[in-house]
Amino acid sequence: MEEKRTDISKLGEFGLIEHITQNFPIKNESTIKGIGDDAAVLKYDNKKVLVTTDLLLEGIHFDLTYFPLKHLGYKTAVVNFSDIYAMNGEPKQLTVSIGVSRRFSVEDIEDFYAGVRLACEIYGVDLVGGDTSSSITGLIISATCIGETVDEVYRNTAHDNDLICVSGDLGSAFMGLQILEREKKVFEGDKDFKPEFSGREYLLERYLKPEARKDIIAELKKNNVIPTSMIDISDGLASELMHICKQSNKGCRIYEDKIPIDYQTALQAESCNMSLITAALNGGEDYELLFTVPLGKHDIVEKIPGVKVIGHITDLSLGMAMITRDGEEIALKAQGWNQTKE
Amino acid sequence: MEEKRTDISKLGEFGLIEHITQNFPIKNESTIKGIGDDAAVLKYDNKKVLVTTDLLLEGIHFDLTYFPLKHLGYKTAVVNFSDIYAMNGEPKQLTVSIGVSRRFSVEDIEDFYAGVRLACEIYGVDLVGGDTSSSITGLIISATCIGETVDEVYRNTAHDNDLICVSGDLGSAFMGLQILEREKKVFEGDKDFKPEFSGREYLLERYLKPEARKDIIAELKKNNVIPTSMIDISDGLASELMHICKQSNKGCRIYEDKIPIDYQTALQAESCNMSLITAALNGGEDYELLFTVPLGKHDIVEKIPGVKVIGHITDLSLGMAMITRDGEEIALKAQGWNQTKE
């Protein structure tokens, strides 16, 4: 009898980890929420604790040809902090373990951890664990972040007519990656090549040294706004919005002309003949926050610097769509970079 | 100017992660203990929470030629639980992320998580996070375990005259690995080869499907014994004893004839012409508990099934030594498998 063999390429298509873990029963009192959001939620007496974890692999998630190790350490920490903020929490502790091949020196590892350290200092997080081991090929990074929260915010709690908000601007990290990938190709053909990054520093920084939106969480708190749902944008706006809508059993309408896009992103899209709106909808690694608030909070959120209202939640029956500048309604599809990753 | 480049092979020699992280300041109230023990310790109101993390890499930490994926999933979970028990805690939540190359099928991943699930059921732990992503080569496993404790037990708190105790028996997992490695070599030269494992099942099980000593922690609690220090034996008795002694600023004496060794281990050492005591001292992956208790607890611990007193803690000036069966005193040296791992 032949054994059944399903190709791993199917993996992203049906969210393998959810599929595999859906019937894991929850046994412990302290477990409030398991797999399926930005972080797990645990409860101890009156304190709620968030746990999120990330596995980053060379050649899959990053390319060391153009990614400085210190930046990579910084980004490793920040993307984990971002998951905690996306639960309306504050990151407090971090563990970072790495596997390194012989290609790396001790100084390389020190560079990497210098980046981790800088991020920890800036965000007020303690490095509490991790280890280094050898690997056969390349760099392997595993990080876990622990945070605290009073009012955690999930993905599955958006309501009809809630406003859909995003922080910052979208598509810029994706454009930064495009520049780096293109320059890498040019570089490979020409040893005397000097990359021209001038005027595009913002795009590169968005990709190589992203920040987590601690400031937005603080502003929301200051204004007494608790989002009804929230997620961070790691796989692209469309993909994350689908998570919120699907898990909340809702539809949505967003407006093309409301989606925040930086000037450099627009210029770059034009110069490399790419669709700007596709970059904003489907480009990943922005690490901005996508959240919903009750309609009545409109005037408050509009005044928070860096927050933009881009649409609203609807009944499930209306589906997910974007209204273009021409007033056309087009269905939203997720085409994130890394669909296997929550 | 040439950049300094220290070879990664130096990594194990000076405990790189401790070196790099030693000056990370602790900023958050909830952080009680960071890097340097089996797990980090966090505090929320009156609850103490333990966090431990592990990165397991194909070709470095395991060989899929003879390691069934379901067993590997089970072991991944159990070795993390073991770190929590070694802090005198109870594991409660687990996250397991994997990176898989195209060589693996969805069914392979299901097998792996079936093992994780079985371990979670047996030990009463909830799987609360994790994701799957692709990898360029091989299988990469990252696991984080969260536990709870009332009286956490560290490595650096052993006192003069404390009794040194171990659970179970030592060296058997190492012998199991030797058998598997040898049969693999034979197998590679002969396609019709059938491995002969009969009579050595215990050794194989010790390596392929270890258990964490939940029972010993429960017995100690039942008998009102809180160890003065504790660690789990992942890198070999000598190496772990050195952690306790160094971190506690103490010396020790252990007795060769007291070290618990299974009959199958002894037979196997003889048949492959290996030093039995070296296997027991330096063979790793036993996942037994090594702990110290006050002298006055002698009669109590002696009665706990599966616990053996093997020596005592001394003043630092006396150094670390083993008294052989001939009454000779030989200095203890650590020669664990994986010195980069805490």
Closest CA to A234 of A12, A80, A127, A99: A80
Closest CA to B292 of B169, B171, B157: B157
CA-based end-to-end distance of chain B: 36
Q: Residue B105: pLDDT above 80?
A: yes
Q: Does A194 touch chain B (CB under 8 A)?
A: no
| Probe site for chain A from B14, B53, B141 (most A CB atoms < 10 A) | B53
Please answer yes or no on whether A47 and B47 come within 8 Å at the CB atom.
yes
Average pLDDT, chain A: 90
Chain B nearest-CA distance from A272, in A, is 29
Per-residue pLDDT band at A13 (split at 50, 70, 90): very low
Burial (CB < 10 A; 0-12, 13-18, 19+), residue B12, is middle
| Higher pLDDT, residue B298 or A136 | B298
Nearest chain B alpha carbon to A43: B44
Q: Does A64 touch chain B (CB under 8 A)?
A: no
Find the mean pLDDT for residues B247-275.
Answer: 95
Count of CB atoms within 10 A of residue B287's CB? 24
Partners of A73 on chain B (C-beta within 8 Å) are: none
The pLDDT, as a whole number, for residue B90 is 97
Q: Which of B8, B34, B40 sits opposite A105 (nearest CB)?
A: B8
The pLDDT, as a whole number, for residue B198 is 79
Alpha-carbon span A17 to A15, nearest angstrom = 6
| Higher pLDDT, residue B266 or A134 | B266
pLDDT tens, position by position, B266-292: 999 999 899 999 999 999 999 999 999
Q: Which of B44, B52, B128 sits opposite A44 (nearest CB)?
A: B44
Residues of A numbered 270-289 whose beta carbons fall under 8 angstroms of chain B's beta carbons: which are they?
none
pLDDT tens, position by position, A73-127: 999 999 999 999 999 999 999 999 999 998 999 899 999 999 999 999 999 999 9
Alpha-carbon span B251 to B255, nearest angstrom = 14
A51-79 core/surface letters (b: 16 or more CB in 10 A; e: else): bbbbbbbbebbbeeebbebbbbbbbbbbb
pLDDT tens, position by position, A293-340: 999 999 999 999 999 999 999 999 999 999 999 999 999 976 643 333
Please answer yes or no on whether B130 and A21 come within 8 Å at the CB atom.
yes
Partners of B110 on chain A (C-beta within 8 Å) are: 20
Nearest chain A alpha carbon to B140: A140
CB pairs under 8 A between A and B: 268
Alpha-carbon span A75 to A144, nearest angstrom = 13
Q: Residue B339: pLDDT above 50?
A: no
Check if the beta carbon of residue A321 is closer than 8 Å to that of residue A164: no
Please answer yes or no on whether B28 and A125 come within 8 Å at the CB atom.
yes
The pLDDT, as a whole number, for residue B194 is 66
Partners of A9 on chain B (C-beta within 8 Å) are: 102
Give the DSSP letter of residue A162: P
| Probe site for chain B from A54, A69, A131 (most B CB atoms < 10 A) | A131
Q: What is the ipTM of this complex?
A: 0.91
pLDDT tens, position by position, B184-220: 887 777 666 666 777 899 999 999 999 999 999 999 9
Q: Residue B318: pLDDT above 70?
A: yes
Q: Which two tokens stand for residue B77?
A: 């979970």
Give the DSSP letter of residue A99: E
Identity (one letter) of the amino acid at A229? S
Nearest chain B alpha carbon to A5: B105
Q: Does B34 touch chain A (CB under 8 A)?
A: yes
> What SS3 string covers B176-240?
HHHHHHHHHHHHHHCCCCCCCCCCCHHHHHHHHCCCCCHHHHHHHHHCCCCCCEEEEECCCHHHH
Tokens 């029963």 — which residue?
A25
Chain B nearest-CA distance from A93, in A, is 7
Check if the beta carbon of residue A123 is closer than 8 Å to that of residue A81: yes
Q: Is B257 left (phi over 0), alpha (psi -120 to 50) or beta?
A: alpha
Please answer yes or no on whether B24 and A130 come within 8 Å at the CB atom.
no
Helices and strands: H and E segment counts in chain A: 10, 14
Q: Does B340 touch chain A (CB under 8 A)?
A: yes
Q: Does A61 touch chain B (CB under 8 A)?
A: yes
Please answer yes or no on whether A131 and B342 come within 8 Å at the CB atom.
yes
Check if the beta carbon of residue A41 is closer than 8 Å to that of residue A48: yes
Residues of B numbered 310-339 whose beta carbons fall under 8 angstroms of chain A's beta carbons: which are they?
338
Q: Which two tokens stand for residue A68?
A: 């400085």
